[in-house]
A and B are shown apart, each in its own frame.
Chain A
Amino acid sequence: SQKIEQNSEALNIQEGKTATLTCNYTNYSPAYLQWYRQDPGRGPVFLLLIRENEKEKRKERLKVTFDTTLKQSLFHITASQPADSATYLCALFTGGGNKLTFGTGTQLKVEL
């Protein structure tokens, strides 16, 4: 069956460290993968899109990698800050149009 897996356990890190979140998928061959941030009670906010022919994408303190052989994407936040605390969702395009299939999300908590 098709699955998108993210660490269900919350990730706690110290301010200033690099946070690394994992997204693994099975039985999909996505051409695109996206990462979103979601704060409690709010809708997801788009962060980055990476294409299957791109190994890495950066935006300010964010970096995403996409390994289609391992079927895995890694999401890094460098020099993390308490304001980065949120749930981070990975999402694949899995059908016609721009329908998204989301993982369950990983909650990140950055402590002082």
Chain B
Amino acid sequence: ETGVTQSPTHLIKTRGQQVTLRCSSQSGHNTVSWYQQALGQGPQFIFQYYREEENGRGNFPPRFSGLQFPNYSSELNVNALELDDSALYLCASSLGLAPQETQYFGPGTRLLVL
């Protein structure tokens, strides 16, 4: 186990709804990254937070937004859900931004949009 937890584990929503996913980073880690993994694909980078500030964003529309709290836990919010948003959402925490810092992934939240 990596010490990174995510909630909920599974979620079913309908098109047009909004969802909030949560991530608790490993103790002492100040950097959280969010990834979307569709079935049979590798994870795709959504955005990253470092010390409560967004530090880079992937090719995702503005209806994907996030937040990092003073304790470095993080939220991913998705508005106006679409069927294609169905995926495994992963968060990863690390101790800083350097590439040498190992990223520890949580177990993910499986989102199904009907």
Contact = CB atoms under 8 A, between A and B. Distances in A.
Interface string B68-109: 000000000000000000001010101001111111111110
Contacts, number: 73
Interface residues of A, number: 24
B56 interface: yes
Interface residues of B, number: 33
Interface stretch (A14-22, A40-48, A73-81): A40-48
Interface stretch (A54-62, A64-72, A102-110): A102-110
B26 interface: no
Interface of B: 2, 4, 31, 33, 35, 40-45, 48, 50, 55-56, 58, 88, 90, 92, 94, 97-108, 110
20 contacts: A43-B90, A43-B92, A43-B105, A44-B90, A46-B102, A49-B102, A93-B99, A96-B56, A97-B31, A97-B50, A97-B55, A97-B56, A98-B94, A98-B99, A99-B58, A100-B33, A102-B42, A102-B44, A103-B42, A104-B40
